[in-house]
């Protein structure tokens, strides 16, 4: 008979259990015929795994045999189960299987601190919320069962410190600022508790543990501390220069106290209206104050340690300027009014509104009066309103522009300050002619005597016409004057050059003895009349007799003087400087050419003495023709 047993390795996970707890069940099969005797009757037994586990012989159910199984002591077990046919008797066949059983964790262990006392040290200037240290309570359990929550349950710093849970640790943090000079050590008691507790193991508790924390605060170099986080100062606007308006104080909180120096942050006092004593922090006034210009001044005071200038503190200071009665009332409704000639007695001709730049606590109240010399004014009176305004009323009728065009009414306005301030405002009242509706049409005596019905627009039109006629007359006279101006240009405005042109080449060596001035004349025009071509004369004169031929050998100076005399006495034109043109070249020279080219190649001796005789004369001739008219007379 043959038995077939399915052997397998079974991995089972199980938590800590009590004795007799069901673990699992195995099954074996036998290929023999179950109806034939005991060949297929199986019996189960445990070969390995005792005394922790047991198996039922006929059902193959595996159970725990002990009640003190602990995962923390042993986590994994190997169990070998045997199945035997023939009802387990001798001679039967058998087979085995192995089952691996792993115990799963339950929360049956409390947390436990590694030490009962922890020491921490921290600087007093640590920021609020920063971590000071960490503690951890160990738990033999694993996973979620190992997590603990932490709390501070007692101590003298429960309001200064706090502890938070982070995974398996407790983190101590600062809740409030520390001050070494006030308190330099704290003692706390913390507790670690299992986050998840199995009700089956409550009796095994308590599932928590405690430890003591000793926290020591160390001194740090701190900045100065002001006696107040903010300051509010008040000063009257008429306070004297250099007067003390307030004081700030600060101290060094460190054990080795340092002296403090004060200053003003000038970025908050650009106009430098305040000063501060660097030693005692007294704030003084540097420039006059004016509440009407600025009611509040906000500055920042800086305190600095002399021992360590890097340690500074700042504090805001608000300065309120208090009002004093230093401004008189002012009229803001205008100082001109008009009344109608046909107005009635008691007519309101003007309403005046008054303001005061000061700001009294109980509001403004003004008093209005006329000067003492006008207290019994027969023409006008004042009526006070309740809204800081007053009316000007007439006390009679029958005003006339012909008798008086303008009235001046001085009014004295006083405020209710201490001391009271006053001002005088003069109201100018014009007497005007008005329409039936009371609208002013004319406010001067001249307009009153004009014919009835002539409006202001008509007067303006008449004035415009008069101005236009005057402009036309001025333009006519100006144009007429320009038309009658002479065409002749003044001597000092006419600048001309005298051009003398010589086309005669000269007569050679024969000219050294004499100079025939007649060669400069045009023989064809000797006896003729050549009119002047520089200008056209206004009056025509009879032509003068032609000049007689000049004999040969005449002196050049005499010839020039004669021509100048004739030009100066010529009645055909004013004696201008003129251009004398000599267009006649002459009939040649028997001496031939004076060219330097020929003379350079000639072997004949030439006489150049004529240069010493005629040179100065030609030079004089050029000077005379280049002179102006005034130079000729000279």
pLDDT at position 453 is 47
pLDDT at position 623 is 56
Higher-pLDDT residue of 353, 600: 353
In whole angstroms, what is the distance from residue 590 CA to residue 594 CA? 11
- Contact between 47 and 80 under an 8 Å Cβ cutoff? The reply is yes
Is the pLDDT at 2 greater than 50? The verdict is no
Is the pLDDT at 266 greater than 70? The verdict is yes
The encoded tokens of residue 335 equal 């100082």
List the beta strands (DSSP E) in 363-421: 367-369, 380-384, 389-394, 406-414
pLDDT tens-digit map of 366-421: 888 888 888 788 889 999 888 889 999 998 888 888 888 899 999 999 988 888 88
481 sits in which H/E element: helix 456-483
DSSP-assigned letter for residue 4: B
The mean per-residue pLDDT over the stretch 351-366 comes to 83
pLDDT tens-digit map of 173-214: 999 999 888 899 999 999 998 877 777 776 666 788 999 999
In whole angstroms, what is the distance from residue 244 CA to residue 229 CA? 21
Higher-pLDDT residue of 63, 72: 63
Give the residues across from 469 on adjacent strands.
none
pLDDT at position 286 is 95
The encoded tokens of residue 48 equal 């390995």
The mean per-residue pLDDT over the stretch 70-80 comes to 85
SS3 352: strand
Is the pLDDT at 30 greater than 60? The verdict is yes
Q: Using pLDDT thresholds of 50, 70 and 90, give the confidence band for residue 549.
A: low
The mean per-residue pLDDT over the stretch 577-594 comes to 53
- Contact between 150 and 194 under an 8 Å Cβ cutoff? The reply is no
Is the pLDDT at 594 greater than 70? The verdict is no
pLDDT tens-digit map of 525-548: 444 444 544 444 444 444 445 455
Between the CA of residue 441 and those of 44, 347, 398, 406, 507, what are the distances in Å? 139, 18, 17, 15, 102
pLDDT at position 296 is 95
pLDDT tens-digit map of 122-162: 998 899 999 999 999 988 888 788 888 899 999 998 999 99
Is the pLDDT at 8 greater than 80? The verdict is no
- Contact between 23 and 14 under an 8 Å Cβ cutoff? The reply is yes
Higher-pLDDT residue of 143, 99: 99
The mean per-residue pLDDT over the stretch 465-484 comes to 83
pLDDT tens-digit map of 313-352: 999 999 999 988 888 988 988 889 988 888 888 889 899 9
Is the pLDDT at 241 greater than 90? The verdict is yes
Beta-carbon count within 10 A of 43 CB: 19
Is the pLDDT at 584 greater than 60? The verdict is no
Which residue carries 């089972």 as its tokens? 12
End-to-end CA distance of the chain: 181
pLDDT at position 582 is 52
pLDDT at position 318 is 97
558 sits in which H/E element: helix 556-568
Ordered DSSP codes for 568-629: HT-TTS-------------S--TT----HHHHHH--S----HHHHHHHHHHHHHHHHHHS-H
Angle between helices 609-626 and 556-568 (to 10 degrees): 10
SS3 203: helix
Q: Using pLDDT thresholds of 50, 70 and 90, give the confidence band for residue 603.
A: very low
In whole angstroms, what is the distance from residue 363 CA to residue 622 CA? 104
Is the pLDDT at 284 greater than 90? The verdict is yes
Q: Using pLDDT thresholds of 50, 70 and 90, give the confidence band for residue 272.
A: very high
Cα four-point dihedral sign 306, 310, 311, 314: positive
Q: Using pLDDT thresholds of 50, 70 and 90, give the confidence band for residue 428.
A: very high
Strands 112-113 and 208-218, bridge-based pairing: unpaired
In whole angstroms, what is the distance from residue 512 CA to residue 189 CA? 150
């Amino acid at each position: 008979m043959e038995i077939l047993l399915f052997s397998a390795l079974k991995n089972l996970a199980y938590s800590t259990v009590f004795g007799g707890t069901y673990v699992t069940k195995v099954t074996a099969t036998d290929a023999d015929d179950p109806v034939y005797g005991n060949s297929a009757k199986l019996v189960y037994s445990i070969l390995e795994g005792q005394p922790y586990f047991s198996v039922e012989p006929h059902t193959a159910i595996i159970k725990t045999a002990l009640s003190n199984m602990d995962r923390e002591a042993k986590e994994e077990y190997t169990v070998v189960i045997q199945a035997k046919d023939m009802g387990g008797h001798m001679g039967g066949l058998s087979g085995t299987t192995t089952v691996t059983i792993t115990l799963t964790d339950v929360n049956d262990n409390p947390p436990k601190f590694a030490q009962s006392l922890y020491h921490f040290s921290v600087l007093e200037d640590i920021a609020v919320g920063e971590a000071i240290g960490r503690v951890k309570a160990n738990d033999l359990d694993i996973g979620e069962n190992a997590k603990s929550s932490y709390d501070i349950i007692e101590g003298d710093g429960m309001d200064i410190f706090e502890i938070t849970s982070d995974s398996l640790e407790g983190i101590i943090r600062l809740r409030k600022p520390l001050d070494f000079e006030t308190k330099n050590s704290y003692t706390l008691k913390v507790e670690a508790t299992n986050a998840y507790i199995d009700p089956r193991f409550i009796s095994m508790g308590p599932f928590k543990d405690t430890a003591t924390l000793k926290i020591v605060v160390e001194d740090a170099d701190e900045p100065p501390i002001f006696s107040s986080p903010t300051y509010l100062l008040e000063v009257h606007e008429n306070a004297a220069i250099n007067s003390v308006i307030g004081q700030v104080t600060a101290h060094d909180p460190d054990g080795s106290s340092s002296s403090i120096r004060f200053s003003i942050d000038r970025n908050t006092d650009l106009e430098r209206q305040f000063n501060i004593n660097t030693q005692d922090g007294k704030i003084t006034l540097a420039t006059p104050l004016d509440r009407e210009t600025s009611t509040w001044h906000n500055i920042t005071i800086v305190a600095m340690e002399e021992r360590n200038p890097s340690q500074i503190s700042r504090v805001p200071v608000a300065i309120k300027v208090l009002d004093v009665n230093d401004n008189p009332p002012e009229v803001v409704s205008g100082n001109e009014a008009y009344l109608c000639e046909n107005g009635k007695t008691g007519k309101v001709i003007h309403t005046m509104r008054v303001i005061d730049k000061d700001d009294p606590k109980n509001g403004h109240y003004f008093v209005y009066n006329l000067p003492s010399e006008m207290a019994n004014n027969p023409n006008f009176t004042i009526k006070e309103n309740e809204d800081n305004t007053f009316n000007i009323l007439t006390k009679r009728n029958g005003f006339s522009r012909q008798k008086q065009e303008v009235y001046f009414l001085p009014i004295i306005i006083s405020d209710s300050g201490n001391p009271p301030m006053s001002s005088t405002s003069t109201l100018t009242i014009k007497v005007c002619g008005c329409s039936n509706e009371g609208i002013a049409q004319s406010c001067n005596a001249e307009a009153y005597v004009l014919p009835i019905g002539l409006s202001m627009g008509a007067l303006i039109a008449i004035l415009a016409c008069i101005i236009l006629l005057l402009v036309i007359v001025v333009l006519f006279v100006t144009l007429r004057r320009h038309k009658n101006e002479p065409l002749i240009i003044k001597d000092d405005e006419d600048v001309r050059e005298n051009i003398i042109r010589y086309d005669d080449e000269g007569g050679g060596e024969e000219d050294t003895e004499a100079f025939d001035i007649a060669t400069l004349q045009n023989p064809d025009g000797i006896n003729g009349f050549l009119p002047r071509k520089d200008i056209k004369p206004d009056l025509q004169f009879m032509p003068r007799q032609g000049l007689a031929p000049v004999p040969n050998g005449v002196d050049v100076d005499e010839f020039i003087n004669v021509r100048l005399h004739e030009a100066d006495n010529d009645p055909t034109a004013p004696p201008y400087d003129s251009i004398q043109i000599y267009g006649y070249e002459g009939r040649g020279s028997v001496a031939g050419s004076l060219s330097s080219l020929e003379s350079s190649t000639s072997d004949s001796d030439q006489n150049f003495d004529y240069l010493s005789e005629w040179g100065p004369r030609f030079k004089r001739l050029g000077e005379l023709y280049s002179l102006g008219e005034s130079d000729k007379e000279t």
